[in-house]
């Protein structure tokens, strides 16, 4: 039911409430309801869900001031140009980026810090008005100067909001201090002396629902065909939230057709790592994705994302996947052809020894296969191309991303193979399914904590059960024995 009283019936619902659930914006001593600046908070949804039996919690995030770029002295800051050859977010026919807007770097100073400290007594973060936990790895500027009092300065990334606006995002200056303190402190930053502020930074508190109440499809355990995605599940926004929306949307579509949910494994995508962590471990602070969270990160590379995920997209029938698969096949064929060339092509000492010595590696005494030289840590494909005309000519017909894939496959073959073996071992546990209605309380051999956690999270497989905090290897052995494995 909407705020206007309109009821919208649906076979499946995905809640993507962001920071709007009972959102409260804090700017110094001021606080008011809002989902973000200029937009109303959503009231009543949390209360309805709690009434159904859901557990809710409270989190906090923040945003920096937006300032007028026309009032900044860019010459007083460090230029941060874009990449000379910018990469793409998609391997489809993305047009070449012909022009870029640079960012700049500015720095705070002891004087800036002193001004900020004058507002601490009016800060909702320090006077206890903010109860929710914020993202650990994106502290506010006041939090930084309080926690790292020994630092004389902090870096600020001065980022344009776009081509068609003069609005600037002062990354690194997230704050809930009073507006006058933010203004005075920013004007003390070199390059910001004449700065005009469009709107101050603020903190926002909002409701979330601990994600251990979800299945790995992002469907709730309590209500069939109700899905949660994004910050409602305790993650940060941006990519972490966006990928959940994609997965919840896919699974809502499959659910109303009585089809099996689409679950990405930890070995298939960072999305799989994120959802698996949320559902099995929960979170008490806004969850952010890091490569360090993935135990199979050698397999989860940028260069092979299309190889990992396009076949799955095609199986789901996602628009455009058939055309993308043609390119995936071409990429795989190209990488194999390049790898075969390196396995078969031999080089003489006179062709490469000078280059090898320049790179700080030993010369070859006799003719060797090119692959053996590439495997040396000091040697790369680009360098070999510069001294071997035959190699350069062979590679002319291949796109850079195809060459990159082949080089990574050859250089890291042993590591990749070892990680694949670990994945296969885990997949054997993932193949052992657990009933959604199984009564774990009847298994007295399980530890008390394991019975509680398994009953709450309801894992789909023994593999998932093994990743739940509080479920020990001994508990997994009990499950396997019970299932006759």
Position 485 scores a pLDDT of: 62
Q: Which of 169, 183, 187 is nearest to 109 (CA)?
A: 187
Supply φ then ψ for residue 43, to 5 degrees. Answer: -115, 145
465 strand-pairing partners: none
SS3 47: helix
Q: What sign has the CA pseudo-torsion 24, 25, 26, 31?
A: negative
The span from the CA of 392 to the CA of 300, in Å, is 29
The span from the CA of 76 to the CA of 396, in Å, is 43
25 strand-pairing partners: 32, 204
Q: For helices 400-411 and 413-430, what crossing angle results, to 10°?
A: 80
Walk me through the domains of the chain, giving residue ranges and CATH numbers. Answer: 11-63+203-297 (3.50.50.60), 65-90+98-200 (2.40.30.260), 321-411 (1.10.10.1800), 417-482 (1.10.150.570)
347 strand-pairing partners: 368
Do 251 and 280 contact (CB within 8 A), yes or no? no
Do 39 and 24 contact (CB within 8 A), yes or no? no
Q: Which of 204, 257, 269, 250 is nearest to 231 (CA)?
A: 204
Distances (CA, A) of 216 to 188, 222, 465: 49, 14, 12
Supply φ then ψ for residue 21, to 5 degrees. Answer: -70, 105
Do 249 and 15 contact (CB within 8 A), yes or no? no
Sole residue written with tokens 């929306």: 245
Sole residue written with tokens 């937009």: 39
The per-residue pLDDT string of the chain (485 residues; one tens digit each, 9 = 90 and over) reads 787 889 999 999 999 999 999 999 999 999 999 998 889 999 999 999 999 999 999 999 999 999 999 999 999 999 999 998 888 777 777 788 888 999 999 999 999 999 999 999 999 988 888 888 888 888 999 999 999 999 999 999 999 999 999 999 999 999 999 999 999 999 999 999 999 999 999 999 999 999 999 999 999 999 999 999 999 999 999 999 999 999 999 999 999 999 999 999 999 999 999 999 999 999 999 999 999 999 999 999 999 999 999 999 999 998 889 999 999 999 999 999 999 999 999 999 999 999 999 999 999 999 999 999 999 999 999 999 999 999 999 999 999 999 999 999 999 999 999 999 999 999 999 999 999 899 999 999 999 999 999 999 999 999 999 999 889 989 999 999 988 76
- For 392, the token pair is 């350069």
Q: Any residues with CB less than 8 A from the CB of 439 and at least 6 apart, and which?
A: none
The span from the CA of 465 to the CA of 84, in Å, is 46
DSSP state of 455: H
Strand order across the beta sheet in which 202-208 lies: 30-33, 24-27, 202-208, 57-63
Q: Which of 122, 139, 116, 136 is nearest to 62 (CA)?
A: 139
249 strand-pairing partners: none
Sole residue written with tokens 């860019």: 74
The span from the CA of 9 to the CA of 265, in Å, is 33
- For 461, the token pair is 């497989």
Task: Report DSSP letters for 347-406, one per residue.
Answer: E-HHHHHHHHHHTTSPPPSS-EEHHHHHTSTT--HHHHHHH-HHHHHHHTTS-HHHHHHH
The span from the CA of 153 to the CA of 112, in Å, is 9
68 strand-pairing partners: 167
SS3 123: coil
The span from the CA of 284 to the CA of 330, in Å, is 44
CB burial of residue 115 (10 Å; 0-12, 13-18, 19+): buried
Supply φ then ψ for residue 59, to 5 degrees. Answer: -130, 170
Q: Any residues with CB less than 8 A from the CB of 376 and at least 6 apart, and which?
A: 356, 361
Pairing state between β 346-347 and 78-80: unpaired
Rounded to a whole number of angstroms, the distance between the first and last alpha carbons of the chain is 49
The span from the CA of 452 to the CA of 402, in Å, is 49
């Amino acid at each position: 039911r909407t705020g206007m009283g309109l009821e919208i019936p649906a076979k499946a619902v995905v809640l993507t409430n962001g920071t709007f659930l009972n959102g409260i914006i804090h700017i110094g001593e001021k606080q008011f309801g809002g989902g973000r600046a200029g937009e109303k908070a959503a009231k009543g949804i949390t209360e309805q869900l709690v009434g159904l039996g859901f557990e809710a919690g409270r989190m906090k995030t923040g945003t920096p001031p937006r300032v007028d770029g026309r009032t900044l002295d860019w010459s007083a800051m460090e230029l941060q140009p874009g990449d000379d050859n910018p990469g793409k977010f998609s391997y489809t026919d993305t047009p070449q980026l012909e022009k870029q807007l640079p960012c700049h770097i500015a720095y705070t100073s002891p004087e800036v810090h002193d001004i900020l400290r004058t507002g601490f007594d009016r800060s909702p973060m320090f006077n206890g008005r903010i109860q929710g936990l914020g993202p650990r790895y994106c502290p506010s500027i006041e939090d930084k100067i309080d926690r790292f009092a020994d630092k004389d300065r902090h870096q600020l990334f001065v980022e344009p909001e776009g081509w068609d606006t003069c609005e600037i995002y002062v990354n690194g200056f997230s704050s809930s201090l009073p507006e006058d303190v933010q203004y005075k402190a920013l004007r003390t930053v070199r390059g910001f002396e004449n700065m005009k502020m469009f709107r101050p930074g603020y903190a926002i508190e909002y409701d979330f629902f601990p994600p251990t109440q979800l299945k790995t499809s992002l469907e709730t355990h309590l209500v069939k065909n109700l899905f949660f995605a994004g910050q409602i599940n305790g993650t940060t926004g941006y990519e972490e939230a966006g990928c959940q929306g994609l997965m919840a949307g896919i699974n809502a579509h499959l659910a109303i057709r009585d089809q099996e949910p689409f679950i990405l494994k930890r070995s298939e995508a960072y999305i799989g790592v994120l959802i698996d962590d949320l559902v099995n471990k929960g979170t008490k602070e806004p969850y952010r994705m890091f490569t360090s969270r993935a135990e199979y990160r050698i397999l989860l590379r940028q260069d092979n994302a299309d190889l990992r995920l396009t076949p799955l997209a095609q199986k789901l029938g996602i628009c455009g996947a058939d055309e993308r698969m043609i390119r995936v096949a071409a990429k795989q064929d190209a990488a194999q052809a390049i790898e075969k060339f390196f396995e078969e092509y031999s080089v003489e000492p006179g062709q490469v020894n000078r280059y090898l010595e320049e790179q700080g590696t030993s010369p070859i005494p006799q003719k060797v296969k090119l692959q053996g030289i590439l495997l040396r840590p000091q040697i790369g494909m680009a360098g070999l191309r510069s001294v071997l005309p035959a190699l350069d000519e062979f590679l002319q017909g291949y796109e850079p991303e195809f060459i990159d894939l082949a080089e990574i496959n050859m250089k890291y073959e042993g590591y990749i193979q070892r990680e694949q073996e670990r994945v296969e071992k885990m997949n054997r546990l993932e193949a052992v399914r657990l009933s959604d209605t199984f009564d774990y309380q009847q298994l007295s051999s399980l530890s008390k904590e394991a019975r509680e956690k398994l009953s709450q999270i309801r894992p789909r497989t023994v593999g998932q059960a093994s990743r739940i905090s509080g479920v020990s290897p001994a508990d997994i052995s009990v499950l396997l024995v019970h299932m006759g494995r």
